[in-house]
Amino acid sequence: MVRGAAWSLAVLVPLAFLTAFFAYPVLTLVARGFVTDGALDLGGFSEVLGDARTWRVLRHTLTQALVGTALALLLALPAAHALYRRRFPGRGAVRGLLSVPFVLPSVVVGVAFRALLAEGGPLGFLGLDRSFPAIVAALAFFNIGLAVRMIGSVWERLDPRTEEAARALGASPARAFATVTLPALLPAIASAASLIFLFCSTAFAVVLVLGGQQFATIEVEIWLQTTQFLDLRAASVLSVVQLVVVALALWVSARTRDHAERALRLLPASTPAPRLRLGRGASGLDRAAAAVTALAVIFVGLPLTTLLVRSLRQDGAWTLQHYANLTTTGTNALTVSVWQATRNSLTIALAAMVMAVVIGVMLSLVLSRTPRRRSARHALRGLDALVMLPLGVSAVTVGFGFLIALDKPPLDVRSSLVLIPIAQAMVAIPLVIRTMLPVLRAIDPRLRQAAAVLGAGPGRVLWSVDGPLVTRSLGLAIGFAFAVSLGEFGATSFLARPDRPTLPVVIYRLLGRPGEGNYGMALAASVVLAVMVGGVMMIAERLRPVGAGQL
């Protein structure tokens, strides 16, 4: 009885939250596009789908997202091996570095990439400025850290003895990896791939900055139709198209996981990884992994270095002036100092993180169950897809939806500051879930059954079986939630009040003004954001539950 009520609450509270602050606003806005004079009008479909441009945009979206995801995974898999299965000095710093791009404001990344690739830039000779490779590289750049962490955090705890047994039985390292390790990693890889695909296919600013309208994605098109032309009919049709793409991606990824997910032998995270050896007698796999990791570091490091270098220069000389200026409001650009905005960002992100983790953990626990009834299993699968949707819907649709849907009591919150952390939490929840779930699902259900047979109540089972594993991934989930909230711009820009801007908002504003040093300040502020995010991720990974058997 109590148990049923607890589970119902764990489903209903998150669902109510997602319904009120995501589904309802989005549906309200999309519905407006399909209603003309009080009657349903689906004529927009034939119009928009009959336009060759729509199909070109759809093709761009898919190719860019697929190639971007593939590139990120290709670099991330070897890097996850080197960074989570091997030990070497500076490992924590490299992990931190790789996760920085994920939350950098995309306009900043766009400017950094263009500064690198533009006609006169250091890599200008490659001729890649405003090209498909530039966009795809930027998409991979953003997401590589996410992939490394999601795969690495599972890999780290795989019991190496299974692979060693395969080796002992005569399998080559490659074969042992392909037949033992890779299948075990597949759920985590599929999880990461689906997330990255969603992020890539809804990329907006970076596509515009790096490619312009020639490479417009559905997201760009929705933004144009909504904010520039107020053509809600076209925007609504495109939103539906985008949802279909997203749903397909989720379906493919869920199928992959279904086939691959199984109980894994997970070790405590404290098990020391062997040292990374590159000298004589080192394994080819280790060398390859180290080489790819180095490549990834260069790949991520180059644009970040461009950012750092330019933040330290003024009129051809080295200076810390831009950093000193962060205490000011710039040359007539801001209403508050950058530090004040940083404080706003930290408090808002903290609130968003708490919401995202509470709701994400509830949902993860629910989703990790395998109920006996078929219908219940189907319902769970639906829920799994549903909670991912906030990543697949354009920030413009959500932002405009908030404005027109949340204007009446009891949901009269559209100009309330509470809405900002809520919107950020919406983006963070899927990340929390996708971080926790692979680990939770890897728990052998027999462990829970055994505990129950031994007389533990449901609460006790949760506490002593799931608990330790949950708390271990929790650090990472907290880190992701906090970091992504810190960097969120799309929805925040609709909601932030001029007198309480967040750090990404002031970075945009500084970039939007000429004036002595505003550009330099924007870069310095981006470096501050990058350092905070790298730091948060490094700390988050060290968070260990008290009493989990580690010192």
Q: Which of residues 69-108 bind another protein (CB under 8 A)?
A: 107
Among 67, 195, 351, 540, binds another protein (CB under 8 A): 351
CB 126, min distance to another protein, A: 15
Among 519, 524, 527, 534, binds another protein (CB under 8 A): 519
230 binds another protein (CB under 8 A): yes
CB 47, min distance to another protein, A: 12
CB 114, min distance to another protein, A: 5
* Count of C-beta atoms within a 10 Å radius of residue 284: 10
* Rounded Cα distance, 202 and 195, in Å: 11
Among 111, 308, 391, 527, binds another protein (CB under 8 A): 111
Of the listed pieces 361-369, 407-415, 449-457, 531-539, which binds another protein according to CB under 8 A? 407-415
Pick out residues in 298-327 that bind another protein (CB under 8 A): 310, 315-316
> Is the sign of the CA dihedral 196, 197, 202, 204 positive or negative?
positive
Q: How far is CA 532 from CA 143, 257, 346, in A?
A: 18, 33, 10
444 binds another protein (CB under 8 A): no
Of the listed pieces 55-63, 259-267, 409-417, 438-446, which binds another protein according to CB under 8 A? 409-417
Is 522 within 8 Å of 329 (Cβ atoms)? no
170 binds another protein (CB under 8 A): no
281 binds another protein (CB under 8 A): no
404 binds another protein (CB under 8 A): yes
Pick out residues in 489-518 that bind another protein (CB under 8 A): 493-499, 505, 509, 511-516
24 binds another protein (CB under 8 A): yes
Angle at 75 between CA 69 and CA 80, to 5 degrees: 110
Angle at 394 between CA 389 and CA 400, to 5 degrees: 115
Binding residues with another protein: total (CB under 8 A):
89
CB 352, min distance to another protein, A: 9
Nearer to another protein, 51 or 164 (CB): 51
426 binds another protein (CB under 8 A): no
Is 486 within 8 Å of 529 (Cβ atoms)? yes
Q: Which two tokens stand for residue 239?
A: 């939103």
Pick out residues in 38-57 that bind another protein (CB under 8 A): 38
Which among 113, 114, 117 is positioned nearest to 126, based on CA atoms? 117
Instruction: Classify strands 39-40 and 317-318 as parallel, antiparallel or unpaired.
Output: unpaired
* Rounded Cα distance, 203 and 242, in Å: 12
Q: Do you find a cis peptide bond into 410, omega within 30 degrees of 0?
A: yes
